[in-house]
Amino acid sequence: MATRLQPADAVTIGVGLTGSLAAYEMVQSGVKVVGLERGAERETVPDFQSPAIHDELRYSIRKAFMQDNAKVAVTFRNNSDQTALPIRRWESFLPGQGLGGSFVHWNGQSFRAQVADFVLRSHTIQRYGQKFLDACGPELTIQDWGVTYDELEPYYDRFEYLCGVSGKAGNIKGQIRPGGNPFEAPRAREYPNPPLKETYFGAIFRKGAESLGYHPYPQPSSNLSRPYTNPLGIKLEACVFCGFCERYACEHYAKASPQTIVLPVLLKNSNYELRTNCEVLRINLDSTGKKATGVTYVDGAGREFEQPAEIVFITAFPLNNVRTLLLSGIGKPYDPRTGEGVVGRNYCYQTTGGPTVFMDESININPFMSSGAPGTMIDDFSGDNFDHANMNPPFIGGQYVGSIMTGGRPIEFHPTPPGTPPWGLEWKRAVARHYNHTILIQQHGTSMSSRLNYLDLDPTYKDAWGQPLLRMTFDFPENDVRMSQYIVDKVVEIGRAMGGKIVVRGGTKRPYTTTVYQSTHNAGGAVMGDDPKTSAVNRYLQCWDVPNVFSLGGSAFPQNIAYNYSITIGALTYWALDAINPWCRHDLPPPPSCGGGRHARPSRGHHLGPGSERRPSG
């Protein structure tokens, strides 16, 4: 029987990016928050220091920072006619575990979404017509988000300044600026820090892209270009291009992560309590099923506890957000046969690929000198930046393209051209020949939601606590394959313009496999919107069926954008918290700065409405 603990005002399920931000914003208003993290506590010192943090075997190959899939795995199949099997080795995507979550081992690639991304269905129909959209694939279930770019812009700005993003603005208040991305959505001001120094492989890509009339720009990065103190007073340092960024934590305080941008302040606040090694089993509901009363979790010693709370934030990895809703009976599970239900609906991923360019031996790339986001790139083929009207066969969406090499680590990076034996002396000679003379070009793009792709609970496999695993049913929609194959032809031309002796064509193909790394940008499954029939949460990430539960993170994306999604997740989190914060204080003592009195706010049994919209408070 679970031991019932003293009530808290709010609880977060997970203490990564969204969990840290949610807790910080809440405690500033006098709300008492408990943060439950399934992994261990870890800090930059001593846990992330060299030489141990540069152990490629431990972190890149054995995935030391990732979710323990011996205890909680995900099962996978390509379609509903197959039997799903557990993923016992993370390869295609890498859900994190431990304090800071996946935001500890991310690359730091820091993009905003485009204006059209938030109104994708409306935009597509307005520009191309319903008939065109239907031709792209009758199975596509794309929809508008329920929030616009203009509403999110100040929250993008706020989150970029929290992280200290390094970059060069290309569009400030509608004015195109030289040196930046001319296709980006308008921003209010310049990035907080200048872009990172351009790498040699980036300069080669820039020259080739410019020769073909494209518009190269420096990749925005949360690997900092100079020392910086963020608005919370936390100091970060400059990136040293050590080559150990993605899949690794930063030893230098030079990459934005919860440990470097918010946790040092949050953990000192008396209104916050962190509990690690705690596996949340479910959200508890009252007898009506319409109000959460808290959560039940198991600690590292196997003891079961009930943590009562007025507000529950689901702030785990997107896949785990969806699983928590399903295990808790919150929202109607999606049924692909009828198209009804919302939890698990619109699961999507990322469409990646790109050519490999083998250069002359006189060109020394030095791939080992790199950061997590060192790219020089173009946005000419991203989203709807190019005209899709005459595409045959038709497709929507796009990909950004860039030379984004994040480290030439010896176990993982050994490029060889076609025809090279897969092992033996000739393979070794080929690796030695091409290691320092090869440039990878990345294509990274949209993933359209489909009625055929979804998440549900597996009927067979269970976790270490006897609960069903999450089952993933996914394959690339034909729309996305057509999009990627069109763009890769353009990118091969860039590779040749760079002077490549051999350019090996890439591009996305079916079937999707979980055995090769592609992206950790799993999205959807608990999507946001204005219609409870097609969304699990409203525009403030509040569950329609249980209003005092909020699901924050990438699970809210109705379809995935072309870009790495962390900055958009941060902006959405701030957007939601700015509406939630005063609302959740109803019937709670006001913070000292309020000067007494009570806030006349809606009951927690009601949904946030348009009157909750506010500009950023900080």
CB 278 within 8 A of CB 248: no
End-to-end CA distance of the chain: 44
Quote the CA–CA distance of 130 and 476 in Å, as a whole number.
22
Quote the CA–CA distance of 382 and 393 in Å, as a whole number.
18
Quote the CA–CA distance of 573 and 152 in Å, as a whole number.
10
| Token reading at 363 | 């060109």
CA distances from 440 to 242, 382, 415, 616 (A): 18, 18, 9, 39
Q: What is the 3-state secondary structure (H, E, C) of 10-72?
A: EEEECCCHHHHHHHHHHHCCCCCEEEECCCCCCCHHHHCCCCHHHCHHHHHHCCCCECCCCCC
Quote the CA–CA distance of 167 and 567 in Å, as a whole number.
13
- For residue 275, what is the enclosing H or E element? strand 272-275
Counts of helices then strands in the chain (DSSP H, E): 13, 24
Identity of residue 276: T
Quote the CA–CA distance of 552 and 103 in Å, as a whole number.
14
For residue 213, the number of C-alpha atoms closer than 13 Å in the C-beta half-sphere is 2
| Token reading at 448 | 């359209």
Residue 328, Cβ neighbours under 10 Å: how many? 24
Question: Is 437 part of the annotated catalytic residue set?
Answer: no
CB 312 within 8 A of CB 10: yes
Residue 1, Cβ neighbours under 10 Å: how many? 5
Quote the CA–CA distance of 33 and 154 in Å, as a whole number.
26
Helices (H), 463-565: 478-497
Identity of residue 303: R
- Phi then psi for 353, rounded to 5 degrees? 150, -155
Burial 437-450 (b: 16+ CB within 10 A, else e): bbbbbbbbbbbbbb
CA-nearest of 366, 317, 353 to 566 is 317
Annotated active-site residue in 215, 434, 521, 586: 521
| Token reading at 564 | 């790495």
CA-nearest of 11, 21, 135, 205 to 394 is 135
Strand 351-353 to 356-358 pairing: unpaired
Quote the CA–CA distance of 520 and 159 in Å, as a whole number.
20
For residue 416, the number of C-alpha atoms closer than 13 Å in the C-beta half-sphere is 17
| Token reading at 589 | 């003592």
**Would you please indicate which residues are annotated as catalytic (active-site) residues?**
521
